Amino acid sequence: MAKKKKAAGTRRRRRSDEELIADLQEKIRQVKTRAQAREMKKSPSMKLAINALKAIDKGLDAAADEGQSHLRHALADARKPLVEYLKSTGVPIPKANLPRGRRPKME
């Protein structure tokens, strides 16, 4: 690999011991959070909650294909509290194709 040329007059800034320690402590915290989320996923109730979220996401996609915007907005509203709870526990959440724009008027 070719080395990058440094800009004229720039020097490499070395991090202090305190900065290195802080960065490593942050990494440790992240690993602990991931481990906790992994443990939470083993719970039967948490598995069912994640499956419910995935089912809502599939329903959002199906409603989008059929052009049912009322149903998409209703499913998106049902998804929000579940996502908030799962995020608070540290479980990674899959990204969904949520409806954008105004909510259609009821006819």
pLDDT tens digits, 9-61: 788 889 999 999 999 999 999 899 888 878 877 888 888 988 999 999 999 89
Number of structural domains (the chain) is 1
Q: Is residue 69 part of a domain?
A: yes
Confidence of residue 87 (pLDDT cuts 50, 70, 90): confident
- Domain-located, residue 68: yes
91 token code pair: 């479980």
Residue 68 has pLDDT above 60, yes or no: yes
pLDDT of residue 3: 64
pLDDT at residue 17, rounded to an integer = 93
Please give the residue that has the higher pLDDT: either 98 or 24. 24
Residue 55 inside a domain? The answer is: yes
The more confident residue out of 76 and 96 is 76
60 belongs to a structural domain:
yes
pLDDT of residue 101: 66
- Which comes out higher in pLDDT, residue 107 or 92? 92
CB 100 within 8 A of CB 64: no
Instruction: Examine residue 104 and state whether it is found in any structural domain, yes or no.
Output: no
103: in domain: no
